[in-house]
Amino acid sequence: MTKVLFICLGNICRSPMAEAIMKKLVKDAEREHEFEIDSAGLIAYHQGEGADPRMRSHAFTRGYRLTHVSRPIRSIDFDIFDIILCMDDSNWDKLHRLAPTIEAENKIRRITDFCTVHAVDHVPDPYYGGEQGFENVIDILEDACQGLLNELHE
């Protein structure tokens, strides 16, 4: 079983969206038994909250249900998960500072490394932006998660 953890700052927009997309892709491919998928944040500010209502709304119109409850990353996550995917350079830097070992650091990847359609180097945080920002995030994450699934299939 491959264990995948998506990380963003607060775990209310980007990472729960990536989690939902990946779960749907895995389910549609009838490969649910091969994966454990979760998401977490780098800060605990939103701990216990559901996803941002704007992200939930945009997700719903695209066929996704965001049911994840925000939680901060834990030290044990570096042991549990096989791949830890971050959304931007700030997430990358913080995860590397938190990683307890070189082996843990080697699990950290940028989600955009798996994009095959979008030429981007990060997933922008839509929290302070407008409606199009949420749509853009979903577009990028759909591309990246499909690329990730394809790579993990090889």
Q: Just list the catalytic residues.
A: 8, 14, 125
Is the separation of the CB atoms in 114 and 148 below 8 Å? yes
Could you tell me which residues are beta bridge partners of residue 6? Answer: 39, 85
Is the separation of the CB atoms in 28 and 20 below 8 Å? no
Q: What angle do CA 53, 57, 62 make, to 5 degrees?
A: 145
CA distance linking residue 45 with residue 134, whole number of Å: 21
Residue type, 110: R
